Amino acid sequence: MGNFDVVIVGAGTGGSYASYLLAKAGFNVALIEMKRRDHVFKTTGDAIGIHHIERMVIKPPSYVFTIRYEGAEIYSPDLSVKYVVLGKGFGLDMAKWAQWLISEAESAGAHIFDGYKVQGPIIENGKVSGVKVLRPDGTVEEFRAKVVIDASGAAAVIRSRLPRGWWVSEPLLPEDVSNAYREIVEVDYEVERPEYIRIYLNADIAPGGYWWLFPKGRNVINIGLGVWGKLTEERGLNPRHNYDKYLANSQYVRGRRVIHAGGGIVPTRRPLPSLVANGFLAVGDAAVTVNPVHGGGIGPALLSAELASKAVVDAFEKGDYSERGLWRYNIDYLRAYGIKQAMLDVFRLMLQTLSNEQLNRGLRARILTEDEVLEISEKGSLQLSLMDKLKIALRLARVPDVASKLRLAFKYMNEVRSLYEAYPTSPEGLSSWYGMLVSVYREYTSKLGISLRWLSSV
Ligand SMILES: Cc1cc2nc3c(=O)[nH]c(=O)nc-3n(C[C@H](O)[C@H](O)[C@H](O)COP(=O)(O)OP(=O)(O)OC[C@H]3O[C@@H](n4cnc5c(N)ncnc54)[C@H](O)[C@@H]3O)c2cc1C
């Protein structure tokens, strides 16, 4: 049996970074990872915004990056309209990124247990007091700690096994995920403008999601697509099937030599009602911190690891590892990012109702300018002058059906913002706050004409 200050489950981006930060702060940290450390690798689109990297307290070496990006090109389904949204970023080599982060955590003093599979939480007296672990030799060991952090990705191996009455254990439903598949492919042509990632809106190829082509170099691309989990559940739509049908033989992958193929689940939803419980916090995908519109979750995994670590340091100073003692993580997270995440969730539900024809007309009418798209994606909202409002009103008048959906989304994005700004400062207020959240979503989704399983279960 091992005894630690902090046990962290999963050595992906969130877990390794939290381990680094907490070990550096002087805590006795166990980082437990089921894969061998040199096999830790996450299948992704490999793209990250520069601001996430700049916020890190350690500077990544240049070898973890494959390419620099200047922005994104967003295409309408019929490809007749292209938005160019500026914003710097990087392409990551996910294997090198993972190995680098793990070695930083280790150098800071974290104990790495790789090849150890966490089976579930140990709960005693209403608090998480450790985890049960299957060791490489097949025996089961208990790792105990004052605080356990779940950083195990979308599987959330601890969070999802906590009692259903705990706020943090809210299940991740199919309606709140994107099922994604992608290949890294060498092609036989030179990719034009490799410094721009491409996002293609197309409700046939990527229903309720988008398909992407992210250059990794002159003739290597990361190409894939995401399908809304609700459609996978209801209609059996499958991203791999759509990839084979629409992209595998397309001009985009001419001369295709597959370097790596794989997929995964991307949580694309509002924040959890709470990210903490007694002796417990969740970060990254385990805490559903992904951007609901574009599915970027590497940056939010870093951010949530940083904010969770601060709350842990605070809890140790106070000697209070309870839900209340860790609560500031909820507040810090919402302020830094969660409010925007909630607003973007409202926006994504609206986007998921648009047909190709509506997307084509909406983008052609340029209802939103490129700057406005950038502002929404950065802030989750738009600050408009009277003149801007007039201009938008004129543009909206050309596409009334799309405009009314957009107006509806903006209205509820504002409502959701106000609600999250009033998030309770301690656990007591959460029940009534949650009731208000449910009513806002009920009203919004009924006007939008979609049903969510979440709302019929609460
Ligand atoms: C196809 C696809 C494309 C994506 N594209 C992008 C993109 O371009 N940009 C972007 O920012 N985001 C992208 N995302 C999302 C992004 O990959 C994730 O949000 C991010 O990697 C989450 O990091 P994490 O540390 O929370 O989890 P993970 O990276 O998933 O790490 C979790 C770790 O926990 C370990 N683990 C799991 N279970 C156990 C267990 N029982 N015991 C011990 N260890 C365990 C796993 O082995 C893993 O190492 C994409 C996701 C997918 C699926």
pLDDT tens by residue, 88-140: 999 999 999 999 999 999 999 999 999 999 999 999 999 999 999 999 999 99
pLDDT digits (tens, 9 = 90+) for 136-159: 999 999 999 999 999 999 999 999
Q: Are 179 and 167 in contact (CB under 8 A)?
A: no
Q: Which atom of ligand 1 is least distant from the CA of 10? A: 34
Higher pLDDT, 393 or 254: 254
CA of 46 to the centre of ligand 1 (A): 11
Query: Residue of the nearest CA to atom 18 in ligand 1?
Result: 297
Which residue has a Cα nearest atom 17 of ligand 1? 44
Domain 175-267, CATH number (from 3.30.9.10, 3.40.50.970, 3.30.420.40, 1.10.10.10): 3.30.9.10
Q: C-alpha dihedral over 148, 151, 153, 159, to 10 degrees?
A: 20
Q: Which of 94, 131, 152 to mutate to test the pocket of ligand 1 (most atoms within 8 A of CB)?
A: 152
Say if residue 66's pLDDT is above 80.
Answer: yes
Q: Does CATH place domain 2-46+93-170+269-336 in 3.30.1490.20?
A: no
Determine whether the shortest distance from the Cβ of 229 to ligand 1 is under 6 A: no
Pocket lining: 11 vs ligand 1, CB cutoff 6 Å? yes
* Three-state SS sequence of the chain: CEEEEEEEECCCHHHHHHHHHHHHCCCCEEEEECCCHHHCCCCCCCEEEHHHHHHCCCCCCHHHEEEEEEEEEEECCCCCCEEEEEEEEEEECHHHHHHHHHHHHHHCCCEEEECCEEEEEEEECCEEEEEEEECCCCCEEEEEEEEEEECCHHHCCCHHHCCCCCHHHCCCCHHHEEEEEEEEEECCCCCCCCCEEEEECCCCCCCCCCEEEEECCCCEEEEEEEEEHHHHHHHCCCHHHHHHHHHCCCHHHCCCEEEEEEEEEEECCCCCCCCEECCEEECHHHHCCCCCCCCCCHHHHHHHHHHHHHHHHHHHHHCCCCHHHHCHHHHHHHHHHHHHHHHHHHHHHHHCCCCHHHHHHHHHCCCCCHHHHHHHHHHCCCCCCHHHHHHHHHHHHCCHHHHHHHHHHHHHHHHHHHHHHCCCCCHHHHHHHHHHHHHHHHHHHHHHCCCCHHHHHC
Residue 227 reports pLDDT greater than 80: yes
Give the pair of three-digit tokens for residue 93: 């080599």
pLDDT tens sequence across 406-416 = 899 999 999 99
The amino acid occupying position 431 is: S
Instruction: Give the integer Cα–Cα distance in Å for 252 and 269.
Output: 30
Q: What is the pLDDT of residue 131?
A: 98
Residue from 285, 288, 304 to probe ligand 1 pocket by mutation (most atoms less than 8 Å from CB): 285
Contact yes or no for 133/1 (Cβ under 8 A): no
Region 175-200: mean pLDDT is 97
pLDDT band at 77 (very low <50, low <70, confident <90, very high): very high
Q: Is the shortest distance between the CB of 64 and ligand 1 below 6 Å?
A: no
The segment(s) of the chain belonging to CATH 3.30.9.10 are: 175-267
Q: Are 232 and 174 in contact (CB under 8 A)?
A: yes
Give 153 Cα–ligand 1 centroid separation in angstroms: 5
- Ligand 1 proximity of 330 Cβ (cutoff 6 Å): no
pLDDT average, residue stretch 50-75: 97
**Is residue 227 within 6 Å of ligand 1 at its C-beta?**
no
Looking at the chain, how many residues does it have?
458
Q: Which of 34, 37, 182, 242 to mutate to test the pocket of ligand 1 (most atoms within 8 A of CB)?
A: 34
Quick: pLDDT tens for 337-367.
999 999 999 999 999 999 999 999 988 888 7
Cβ atoms of 18 and 2 closer than 8 Å: no
Intervals of CATH 3.50.50.60 along the chain: 2-46+93-170+269-336
Residue 65 alpha carbon to ligand 1 centre in Å: 17
Mean of the per-residue pLDDT values of the chain: 95
Phi, psi of 221 (to 5 degrees): -130, 155
Residue 413 CA to residue 395 CA, distance in Å, equals: 20
Please tell me the residue having the least CA distance from ligand 1 atom 27.
153
The answer, yes or no, to whether any atom of ligand 1 lies below 6 A from the CB of 48, is yes
Atom of ligand 1 nearest to the CA of 152: 34
Q: Is the pLDDT of residue 391 over 80?
A: no
Q: Is the pTM of this model over 0.85?
A: yes
Any ligand 1 atom below 6 A from CB of 47: yes
Distance from Cα 359 to the centre of ligand 1, integer Å: 30
